[in-house]
Structure 1
Amino acid sequence: MTDVRDPELPGLLLRTERDALIPFLRKLPDEAFAVRTCCPGWTVRHVLAHCAAALTRVVEDRFEEGVFSPEANDRDIEERAGLANAEIVDELERGMTDAGPVIAKAADGRLDGIALGEWVHAGDVREALGEPGAYAGASLAPALDLLAAVTRARATPPLHADLDDLDEPVLLGAATGEHPPARYIGPASTLIRLYAARPLTGTRYDLAGVREAELALFG
């Protein structure tokens, strides 16, 4: 991992996840879209509608005041209430295809977190439906690279992560030199849960030198 931002990384993550997620979604029966997720009040359909709306906003450069607030997210979902599930998946596929170049051009990587958030939401959907690979899978490597970039940009506490499923440690957050990095030992998917503020029930990991709440990037 490097301290220099890779502008192509968000698009790579979105396209890699698209190729795995969209075929899976197209095979789902309609009742699966009504399953509740870990996002309070949101079903699978709500999560996908939110993701589709967010990427459409990126592609169309629509960032009015208050965008991505809870109220704005609910409005985006409500605006898609009349769409079939397949139409929401279509919009999501277009967004995951087209948003990468726009995010790449955004100054100082200000939109990079959107791509990471989309990937996390794909994990929310998989977990809700009992599918393997939630917060992991084929796109884990670019997701970890993007997590490193986003945590560095947002100056979260420095963290040295020894991951059970990777040979090399992952360095996250902003190394200011004021204190030694915190330490994490455990699965990569659980590390993602920590930063995404997702449920940790049933997980096992060691975390020292930082509180869980200090790592959370998303509510």
Structure 2
Amino acid sequence: MSKRPRDPALPGRLLLTERDALMPLLRSAPDELFALRTACPGWTVREVLAHCGAALMRIVEGRLEEGVFLPEANAADVADRADWPLGRVLDELERGFTEAGPVIATHEDGLLDTVALGEWVHAGDVRDAWGTPGAYAGEGAAPALELLSVASRRRDTPLLRATLGDGSTLVLGDAVPGRAPARLVADVPTLIRLYSGRPLVGTRYELDGAHEHELVIYR
């Protein structure tokens, strides 16, 4: 199967698209909404956003020591921001959205591309917690799916052919010797939920030839 070459500018485009869509929503929201729980176990909306800003600023500032994005390190970053005013958390996030893309592009191995995808997924977590339309969808869906196709191969998920709600198809993962490609029929938000390990309550999809846990890229 031929694989498309990496587009180093793609993560940055996704981050800027999400910045322009998400930041006005965050800036206009009442403070009490930031205390709502999200699909990320143990984290409120505010804590998810603190994690997102911290991760992006580590990239911007080159603070990428070993283990930097492991759960323990992520939790420490969130704890470090617990006493910050909400406005400071949002300012850091907006700066990260703006400045991280060019830095990610310089990493030729593409390992940081998945961080940009994760930021977009977390923006969906916020919309999902607030009941806002467009969770795991919207204008950033096309570049997010392109990044997901790469991430699904890097994370050794099984080969899968997805038919999306608009009738388009997407190939994810890599072939497993002796195993036929899996088949998925789902809309884009449900596909994102499957591959990011988000709750599937209320979704509708058909999956043959693979188990849900095999598809998750964030472990």
How high is the TM-score relative to the length of structure 2? 0.95
1:96-111 aligned within 5 A: 96-111=97-112
After TM superposition, what 4+ stretches of structure 1 lie above 4 angstroms from structure 2?
A: none
Q: Report the secondary structure of 2:109's partner residue.
A: helix
In the alignment, does 2:149 pair up with 1:181?
no
Match of 1:217 in 2: 217
In the alignment, does 2:139 pair up with 1:138?
yes
Match of 1:125 in 2: 126
Render the CA deviation track for 1:40-69: whole Å, top value 9, x for unaligned: 110000000000000000111112232122
CA–CA distance in structure 2, aligned partners of residues 76 and 179 of structure 1 = 41
Match of 1:60 in 2: 61
Most deviating of 168-177 and 101-110: 168-177
Alpha-carbon deviation of 1:203? 0.6
1:8-47 aligned within 5 A: 8-47=9-48
Q: 1:179 to 1:3 in 2, by over 3 A?
A: farther
1:149-164 aligned within 5 A: 149-164=150-165
CA–CA distance in structure 2, aligned partners of residues 215 and 62 of structure 1 = 30
Alpha-carbon deviation of 1:82? 2.1
CA–CA distance in structure 2, aligned partners of residues 55 and 177 of structure 1 = 37
Alpha-carbon deviation of 1:201? 0.5
How many residues were matched structurally?
218
CA–CA distance in structure 1, aligned partners of residues 181 and 20 of structure 2 = 35
Which AA in structure 1 matches 2:92?
E
Q: Report the secondary structure of 2:59's partner residue.
A: helix
Alpha-carbon deviation of 1:212? 0.6
Q: Report the secondary structure of 2:162's partner residue.
A: strand
CA–CA distance in structure 2, aligned partners of residues 207 and 154 of structure 1 = 19
Which AA in structure 1 matches 2:161?
H
Most deviating of 29-38 and 60-69: 60-69
Segments of 5+ residues of structure 1 without an aligned counterpart are none
Segments of 5+ residues of structure 2 without an aligned counterpart are none
Match of 1:90 in 2: 91
CA–CA distance in structure 2, aligned partners of residues 148 and 192 of structure 1 = 11
Q: Report the secondary structure of 1:54's partner residue.
A: helix
In the alignment, does 2:216 pair up with 1:207?
no
Which AA in structure 1 matches 2:80?
E
Q: Report the secondary structure of 1:126's partner residue.
A: helix
Match of 1:197 in 2: 197
Alpha-carbon deviation of 1:79? 1.1
Q: Report the secondary structure of 1:7's partner residue.
A: coil
CA–CA distance in structure 2, aligned partners of residues 180 and 104 of structure 1 = 34
**Identity across matched positions, percent:** 59
Q: 1:178 to 1:108 in 2, by over 3 A?
A: farther
Render the CA deviation track for 1:98-147: whole Å, top value 9, x for unaligned: 11111111132011110011111000000001101110011111111111
CA–CA distance in structure 1, aligned partners of residues 4 and 158 of structure 2 = 15
User: Over the residues paired in the alignment, what is the CA RMSD in angstroms?
Assistant: 1.5
CA–CA distance in structure 1, aligned partners of residues 116 and 173 of structure 2 = 18
Most deviating of 103-112 and 177-186: 177-186
How high is the TM-score relative to the length of structure 1? 0.95
